[in-house]
Amino acid sequence: MAQPENATSAAQSGPYDWIGSSVPKVDALDKALGITQYVGDMQMPGMLHARIRWSGVPHAIIRGIDTSEAVKVPGVRAVLTAGDIPGINRYGLAVQDQRVLADDKVRTAADPVALVAADTEQAAEEAITKIKLDLEPLRPILSIEDALDPTAPSIHESGNLFTRTTVRKGDLDQGVKESDVIVEETYRTHLMDHMAMETESSLAYMDPTGVLTIITSTQYPYRDRRQIAPALNLSMNKVRVVQAPIGGGFGRKDDITSEIHAGLLALKTQRPVRLVYTRRDSLIANTKRHPMLMKFRTGARSDGRLTFVDADIYGDTGAYLSLGAFVIKKAGIHACGPYDVPNIRVDTHTLYTNNLSSGAMRGFGVLQAAVAHESQMDQLAHRLGISPIDIRLINTLKPGLATGTGQVMDEGCGIEATVLRIKEYMESHDLRFTRS
């Protein structure tokens, strides 16, 4: 990896001297000076501005889209719907369940149904409000319980349960028998937006050799290209994706956001097209943190030792999978937390709903699981009359012990030292846990 030129002096002597020294980011001064060019800062001659019309309803059959008034708005250069897509109207990070523009059905209120490119943002904005949608509402699936209902309509072709994963260890019945106390609770976490300070944005243009070039705020240009090219019916070498400086991602810019839409408009108009999501667009349309419903049963002996974890984790991935199955599977893998649990049964269930889609977000499912396993620990501590810190110390993974999925810890396992530091700090500052 290239080393920054302006690093601190510690850098000069050996290859490992970087570790522990504070090294200024190579691009930080440009950012402080305000000269870094994010996508929204760029302009090109003849550039058009784009806007997206979102469906606004969660589940419906599309009977018609009337763009006749929108095209009359002065300055409008293109109004596109699904029929204008030259390639395959499907994409997705893990499975191709998303449409570039909705065709048969609307599956979430954040489905894009039409695109506008115009000379000004104002004209594009005005045009999208003039697009008329003729939608026939379908029963919406708006919760995990709805999605589990066998009579619920299927959002995609094959049912609303996308996948299940399991974690098994030891003998659950034995664990239950050995328990002096069992805590059984249900936890819910909510949908959450990454709220990166820069919204999703792309600038697309045809380069002089006929290569569609898309400068974009993305986490992953190659995976973007793999999804853009088939949708636009271009061979891979006719699409170039340039990763611009990115004003925060946190997982949300892993998925396709503005890239295919900007590319399609540039292809159709043969003009540079800049698509910068408004904050509202960003809140509506991008992946979120998965809401989860977590049913946990956890046992312990009177000395505080955990005996078993028995859990079902249901994740609402919304209308599209994104990386949902992996996020929710990971919640299951982490369901026992950093603790030594001898007997485990954990199932995860990835469910489609008509809610906004969730995907990658900092922590990737681990945080939701922590809400459940740490709440269980607190409850067990309370029931057993052990301090919340001590019950954790009794059960933390230590070198030689294995996680729920069988990974044996070695000397890099720091949880016990971390909890001990907290304990020391609390004692030296006379801090106590209180429980109302």
Partner 1 sequence: MEHYSLKINGHVYETGAEPFESLLDVLREKLRLTGSKKGCDEGECGSCTVLLDGKPVLSCILMVSDVRDREVLTVEGLPQGGEPHPIQVEMTERGGIQCGYCTPGIIMSAYALLQENPRPSEDEIRFAIAGNICRCTGYSKIVEALQAAAGTPIR
Q: Which residues in this chain contact ligand FES in the complex, by CB under 6 A?
A: 197, 248
Q: How many residues make contact with partner 1 (CB under 8 A)?
A: 32
* Shortest separation between residue 248's beta carbon and ligand FES, angstroms: 5
DSSP letter string, 354-407 = SSPPB---TTTTHHHHHHHHHHHHHHHHHHHT--HHHHHHHHB--TT-B-TT-P
- Closer residue to partner 1 in complex, CB, 2/33: 33
* Shortest separation between residue 251's beta carbon and partner 1, angstroms: 12
DSSP letter string, 138-188 = -----SHHHHH-TTSPPSSTT-SEEEEEEEEES-HHHHHHT-SEEEEEEEE
- Closer residue to ligand FES in complex, CB, 278/387: 278
247 belongs to the binding site for partner 1 (CB under 8 A): yes
Q: Which residue's Cβ lies closest to ligand FES? A: 197
197 belongs to the binding site for partner 1 (CB under 8 A): yes
Binders of partner 1 in range 381-400 (CB under 8 A): none
Asked if residue 362 lies in contact with residue 351, where contact means CB atoms within 8 angstroms, the answer is no
Binding mask of the shown chain, residues 276 to 295, with x at each position contacting partner 1 by CB under 8 A: --xx----------------
- Residue from 51, 53, 59, 194 binding partner 1 (CB under 8 A): 194
- Closer residue to ligand FES in complex, CB, 28/408: 28
Asked if residue 370 lies in contact with residue 187, where contact means CB atoms within 8 angstroms, the answer is no
Binders of partner 1 in range 28-47 (CB under 8 A): 28-38, 40-41, 43
Asked if residue 155 lies in contact with residue 141, where contact means CB atoms within 8 angstroms, the answer is yes
3 belongs to the binding site for partner 1 (CB under 8 A): no
19 belongs to the binding site for partner 1 (CB under 8 A): no
* Shortest separation between residue 253's beta carbon and partner 1, angstroms: 11
The type of residue at 17 is D
If we measure between CA atoms, which residue out of 251, 216, 200, 210 comes closest to residue 232?
210
The type of residue at 350 is T
- Closer residue to partner 1 in complex, CB, 281/340: 281
245 belongs to the binding site for partner 1 (CB under 8 A): yes
Report helix, strand and coil shares of the chain as percent, to nearest 5: 30, 25, 45
Strand order in the sheet with 292-300: 161-169, 343-352, 306-318, 292-300, 181-189
List of residues contacting partner 1 (CB under 8 A): 22, 24-25, 27-38, 40-41, 43, 194-199, 245-250, 278-279
